[in-house]
């Protein structure tokens, strides 16, 4: 079941809330993205060992300093790639309150988009899991379509997508019921 215990500063986040606004859900990416980063790091180490083995077998008596410099540049570029990939995954989140939805998406390095919409503007909430791995590890895609063309929210690699989509739908229905709005059932 999704919880609010994530690696973000909830106290600082609550400072941005409106009066009487209550946090309902913080949705971050599933831990599988860190496993993918681990595979990338494993490839870095493996490729370095293979390059070192190949270089020492082809040029056994070479005393030039070209190869160590090449390895340092290779590691630096690859570690930068790993950091950017980590930041792109770690900084993506949805904040669902009893009044609005805020989506913070790290598109690329130093490129962030923050979108916000009222719960009244959400037209449908969808969850999708496809493939064996997504179903076994319970992650997938959660998407929310709004009345605006510019503020649709989609999170890939979301944990428990069906449960989280259901929670979001319930928050929207509670908001409408609290305000006395009678409307069609939210699309799912």
Question: Tell me, what's the pLDDT at 5?
Answer: 43
Cα(122)–Cα(165) distance, integer angstroms: 12
Cα(162)–Cα(142) distance, integer angstroms: 8
- Between residues 16 and 1, the one the model is more confident about: 16
User: Is residue 4's pLDDT more than 60?
Assistant: no
Cα(19)–Cα(30) distance, integer angstroms: 31
Question: Tell me, what's the pLDDT at 142?
Answer: 96
- Mean pLDDT value across the chain: 85
Cα(57)–Cα(34) distance, integer angstroms: 35
| Helix, strand, or coil (residue 101) | strand
Cα(30)–Cα(11) distance, integer angstroms: 23
Per cent of the chain over pLDDT 70 is 86
Q: How many helices (H) and strands (E) does the chain have?
A: 5, 7
Residues whose CB falls within 8 Å of the CB of residue 187, separated by 6 or more in sequence, listed in order: 123, 124, 125, 126
Q: Can you tell me the mean pLDDT for 66-74?
A: 86
104 near 92, Cβ under 8 Å?
A: yes
pLDDT tens digit sequence for 151-184: 789 999 999 999 999 999 999 999 888 887 765 5
Q: Can you tell me the mean pLDDT for 136-150?
A: 90
Residue 56's pLDDT band, with cuts at 50, 70 and 90, is confident
User: Is residue 3's pLDDT more than 60?
Assistant: no
Element containing residue 96 per DSSP (H, E): strand 93-97
User: Is residue 129's pLDDT more than 50?
Assistant: yes
């Amino acid at each position: 079941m999704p919880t609010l215990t994530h690696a973000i500063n909830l106290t600082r986040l609550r400072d941005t809330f409106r009066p009487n606004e209550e946090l309902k859900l913080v949705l971050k990416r599933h831990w599988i993205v860190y496993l993918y980063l681990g595979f990338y790091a494993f490839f870095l180490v493996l490729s370095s060992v293979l390059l070192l083995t190949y270089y020492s077998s082809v040029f056994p008596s070479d005393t030039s300093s070209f190869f160590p410099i090449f390895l340092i540049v290779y590691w630096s570029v690859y570690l930068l790639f790993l950091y950017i990939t980590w930041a792109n995954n770690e900084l993506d989140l949805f904040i669902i309150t009893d009044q609005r939805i805020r989506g913070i998406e790290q598109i690329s390095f130093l490129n962030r988009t923050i979108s916000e919409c009222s719960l009244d503007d959400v037209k449908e909430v969808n969850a999708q899991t496809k493939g064996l791995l997504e179903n076994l590890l319970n992650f997938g895609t959660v998407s929310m379509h709004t009345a605006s063309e510019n503020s649709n929210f989609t999170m890939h690699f979301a944990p428990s997508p069906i449960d989280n989509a259901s929670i979001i739908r319930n928050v929207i229905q509670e908001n409408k019921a609290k305000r006395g709005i009678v409307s069609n059932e939210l699309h799912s």
